[in-house]
């Protein structure tokens, strides 16, 4: 491409570019009144999860999809037609730094393979836009800290797609634990896994994913152990099991079991796998009661029960709630019950680093978060 103009002309040859909608029209479209400013978001990475976020944002009151960034021109054209994206808000991976000159876009949601997050988020920060990044935020804690530092230097927010931090049943268990209704917490179990399909997918490519199941589904058990117990772990042990070395090549973990110890004496026993189905369960045990979520981290509806009975909080589309809450964090300074900032993600990455090290060495490792 010789220029951004040439690129955009090719993209819009068969697409009708809708004019940018003023903020006051966004609420009129939905017959609702937003509680404050509307966050104008561009999605980077138009795959299956990017599509899920885009669909969920149709029901947001404080967040609006206004731009796209993709390496596939045909996807951009499709999204222009489907979501009414103006041509001036469309970019590719080479030229999206030019978003710094586009006041229509306030935040960019990075939904690309793990290995790309680091450089892309830093570029977003340098463009002066708030960064939202999928999890795990980076390949390791060092990369994650560099992303945090870059966003602080640019005076922009760095938020991470921890959608479960806003899920009603999850929040009810956290409330019960904080209120002492479970008594002293003794044990947490997190089981996260499914049988992966296409052996050629990027999630099974170490260069793009940074690992295997732990860098995908395992992040839920890691993060969940922390917000369910309400403490930061101080030690870790881990064991890796591999039954298919062809599909799960070196550096791509098939199954990892890991254990975390907490200052109070509570322990967590977790499993992350790409080779077992029906694993999506959290269990929290205390001296005075218990709480269970099954399914615990899927797209919903989440189901749960405690020693007091079934959890009945209504299901809300996770990504819709997440994006509205992120707007409140950015514009209103709202503090979520469980953090979703870059520092929170770095703590998870430190645990991931330690799990891989413990699985490799067979030794118990110390954690300092």
pLDDT score, position 16:
33
Residue 34 confidence class, pLDDT cut points 50, 70, 90: confident
| Per-residue pLDDT at 9 exceeds 60 | no
CA distance linking residue 129 with residue 100, whole number of Å: 7
> Which residue in the block uniquely carries the two structure tokens 């690309």?
112
Q: Are residues 152 and 177 in the same domain?
A: no
CA distance linking residue 138 with residue 150, whole number of Å: 14
CA distance linking residue 94 with residue 116, whole number of Å: 13
357 domain-assigned: yes
Q: How far is CA 227 from CA 84, 186, 346, in A?
A: 38, 14, 15
Single residue among 162, 177, 209 that ends a domain in this structure: 162
What are the pLDDT digits (tens) for 297-333?
999 999 999 999 999 999 999 999 999 999 999 999 9
328 domain-assigned: no
Split into its structural domains, the chain has a count of 2
Q: Are residues 51 and 145 in the same domain?
A: yes
Whether residue 54 contacts residue 85, with contact meaning beta carbons closer than 8 Å, is answered with: no
% the chain with pLDDT above 90: 90
> Which residue in the block uniquely carries the two structure tokens 């021109």?
73
Q: Are residues 144 and 103 in the same domain?
A: yes
What are the pLDDT digits (tens) for 74-131?
999 999 999 999 999 999 999 999 999 999 999 999 999 999 999 999 999 999 999 9
**Strand 185-193 with 267-273, pairing:** parallel
pLDDT score, position 35:
79
Instruction: Enter the tokens of residue 282.
Output: 């959290």
276 domain-assigned: yes
Say which CATH number the domain at 203 has: 3.30.360.10
Which of 284, 308, 283 shows the shortest CA–CA distance to 294?
283
pTM of the model: 0.91
Average pLDDT, the chain: 93
What are the pLDDT digits (tens) for 208-250?
999 999 999 999 999 999 999 999 999 999 999 999 999 999 9
pLDDT score, position 31:
44
Map the chain to HEC letters.
CCCHHHHHHHHCCCCCCCCCCCHHHHHHHHCCCCCCCCEEEEEECCCHHHHHHHHHHCCCCCEEEEEEECCCHHHHHHHHHHHCCCHHHEECCCCHHHHHHCCCCCEEEECCCHHHHHHHHHHHHHCCCEEEECCCCCCCHHHHHHHHHHHHHHCCCEEECCHHHHCHHHHHHHHHHHCCCCCCEEEEEEEEECCCCCCCCHHHCHHHHCCCHHHCCHHHHHHHHHHHHCCCCCEEEEEEECCCCCCCCCCCCCEEEEEEECCCCCEEEEEEECCCCCEEEEEEEECCCEEEECCCCCCCCCCEEECCEECCCCCCCHHHHHHHHHHHHHHHCCCCCCCCEHHHHHHHHHHHHHHHHHHHHCCCEECCC
Q: How many CB atoms are located within 10 Å of the residue 38 CB?
A: 22
pLDDT score, position 32:
55
Range(s) of the domain holding residue 74:
4-162
Torsion angles phi and psi, residue 298, rounded to 5? -70, -175
Single residue among 162, 181, 216 that ends a domain in this structure: 162
Q: Are residues 157 and 187 in the same domain?
A: no
What are the pLDDT digits (tens) for 251-305?
999 999 999 999 999 999 999 999 999 999 999 999 999 999 999 999 999 999 9
Q: Are residues 308 and 246 in the same domain?
A: yes
Peptide bond into 295 cis (omega under 30): yes
Beta bridge partners of 131: 108, 158
What are the pLDDT digits (tens) for 48-61?
999 999 999 999 99
Q: Are residues 56 and 176 in the same domain?
A: no
Q: Are residues 140 and 208 in the same domain?
A: no
Q: Are residues 221 and 297 in the same domain?
A: yes
CA distance linking residue 222 with residue 269, whole number of Å: 10
Q: Are residues 70 and 187 in the same domain?
A: no
What are the pLDDT digits (tens) for 152-186?
999 999 999 999 999 999 999 999 999 999 999 99
Say which CATH number the domain at 33 has: 3.40.50.720
């Amino acid at each position: 491409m010789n220029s951004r103009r040439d690129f955009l002309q090719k993209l819009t040859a068969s697409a009708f570019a809708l004019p940018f909608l003023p903020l006051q029209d966004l609420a009129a479209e939905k017959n609702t009144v937003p509680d404050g400013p509307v966050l104008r978001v561009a999605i980077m990475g138009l795959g299956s999860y990017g599509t899920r976020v885009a669909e969920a944002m149709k029901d947001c009151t404080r967040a609006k999809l206004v731009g796209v960034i993709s390496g596939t021109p045909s996807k951009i054209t499709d999204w222009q037609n489907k979501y009414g994206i103006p041509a001036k808000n469309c970019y590719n991976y080479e030229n999206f730094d030019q978003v710094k000159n586009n006041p229509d876009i306030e935040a960019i949601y990075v939904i690309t393979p793990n290995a790309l997050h680091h450089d892309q988020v830093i570029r977003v920060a340098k463009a002066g836009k708030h960064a939202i990044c999928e999890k795990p935020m980076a390949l390791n804690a060092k990369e994650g800290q560099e992303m945090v530092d870059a966003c602080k230097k640019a005076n922009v927010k760095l938020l991470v797609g921890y959608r479960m931090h806003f899920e009603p049943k999850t929040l009810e268990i956290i409330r019960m634990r904080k209120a002492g209704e479970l008594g002293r917490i003794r044990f947490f179990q997190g089981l996260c896994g499914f049988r992966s399909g296409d052996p050629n997918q990027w999630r099974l490519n170490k260069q793009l994913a940074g690992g295997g199941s732990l860098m995908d589904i395992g992040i839920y058990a890691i993060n969940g152990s922390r917000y369910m117990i309400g403490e930061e772990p101080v030690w870790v042990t881990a064991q890796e099991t591999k039954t298919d070395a062809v599909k799960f090549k070196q550096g791509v973990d098939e199954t990892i079991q890991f254990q975390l110890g907490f200052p109070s004496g509570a322990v967590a026993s977790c499993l992350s796998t790409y080779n077992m189905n029906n694993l999506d369960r959290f269990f929290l045990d205390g001296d005075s009661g218990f709480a269970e979520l099954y399914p615990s981290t899927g797209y919903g509806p989440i189901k749960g029960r405690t020693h007091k009975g079934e959890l009945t909080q209504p299901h809300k589309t996770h990504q819709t709630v997440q994006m509205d809450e992120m707007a409140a964090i950015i514009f209103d300074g709202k503090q979520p019950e469980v953090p979703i900032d870059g520092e929170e993600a770095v703590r998870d990455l430190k645990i991931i680093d330690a799990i891989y090290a413990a699985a490799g060495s067979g030794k118990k490792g110390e954690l300092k978060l």
